[in-house]
Amino acid sequence: MQKIESHASFGGTQEVWQHASSTLGCDMKFAVYLPPQAADGPCPVLYWLSGLTCTEQNFITKAGAQQHAAEHGLILVAPDTSPRGEGVPDGDGYDLGLGAGFYLNATRAPWDTHYRMHDYVVDELPALVDAHFPTTTARGISGHSMGGHGALVLALRNPGRYRSVSAFSPIVAPSRVPWGEKAFTAYLGDDRDAWKAWDACELVRDAGQRVELLVDQGDADEFLEEQLRPELLREACGVAGHSVQLRMQPGYDHSYYFIASFIGDHLAHHARALKG
C-alpha cells in the first residue's frame, strides 16, 4: 500500500491510501481516519459507502465526521465507489460504470471482470485495514444514497460481519426504481429474480441477523419519490418483523449538508453498538 495523503484532524490523522486490488483488477484508493485513541490501542471500525459519482474524497471533506469519530474512538474507512483505471469499462451517464459500482458483484460482461465491489468491501478491504491499522473485530457500516443501498445490502447479506448499520437517503428497493433497474440490467442481466439478492427490501425478509437499521431521509430530497421510496423499506421490515428506525427529516435534501447535520447521531449510534 502507498500513503498518498495525511492530515492532522481533531487529534487524529486523516489519511488516503492506494493499493493494487486483486478483486477488482485495478488500483484503488480508500480513506482512513485514525482517531487519537488509535495511538494507544485497537479501535472499532466504521465503513462508509458513498453514492453515485463520488470517490473516497466526498465523505472525508464534506461530512464533518472526524470530530465525532475522535470523540467516540472510531476508525473510519471510506473506499471509492467503483473500480477505476485503464481498461475498466464505463457506462452511459453518471449512474452506470465509473462512480456507480452499486456495491454488487457483476455477472454480465464486460462488467464482471472488474465490478465486484461487494467482495472488495466485505473481504479484501477489511483484510488490508486489519493488517495495517490498529483495529478491533467490531465493525459497522453506513452510507449515502447508492452507498446507503450498499450498507443495507452488505449487512443483510453477511450476517455477523457488522454489529451496526445505518444509512442516509438509501436506495432501498433498487429492483423497483430507475437507478437500480438501469444498473442491475447492465451488471446482472434481465433476470429479475437474480436482482433480489441485491435488494434490501427483498433481503430483509430472510435476514440472518436482526440488527436495527437506522435510516435518515430528508423530506425535501429531490430523489425521494422516484428513486428512494423509503416507505418500501418500512413496509418490508414490518412484514419481516425487522427493527428499523426510519426518521423523516423535514426540510432536508439529498446533499452533504443533510449528512453533516446528522452524522453525529449516526456515529453515536454505531459507537454504542461497537463499543458496548
Other residues' Cβ atoms within 10 Å of the Cβ of residue 5: 16
> Which H helix or E strand runs over 180?
helix 178-188
Instruction: Determine which one of 9, 142, 145, 169 is catalytic.
Output: 145
Name the grid cell of 55: 470517490
Residues 6+ apart with CB under 8 A from 153: 103, 104, 118, 198, 199, 200, 203
State in Å, rounded, how far the first CA of the chain is from the last one: 32
Residue 254 bears catalytic tag: yes
Residue 221 bears catalytic tag: yes
Cα separation, 186 vs 203, in Å, equals: 21
Other residues' Cβ atoms within 10 Å of the Cβ of residue 181: 14
3-state secondary structure of 198: helix
Residue 145 bears catalytic tag: yes
Residue where the block lists cell 444514497: 145
Instruction: Determine which one of 221, 266, 269, 270 is catalytic.
Output: 221
Residues 6+ apart with CB under 8 A from 187: 102, 104, 106, 107, 108, 111, 115
Instruction: Determine which one of 68, 144, 149, 254 is catalytic.
Output: 254
- Positions marked catalytic: 145, 221, 254
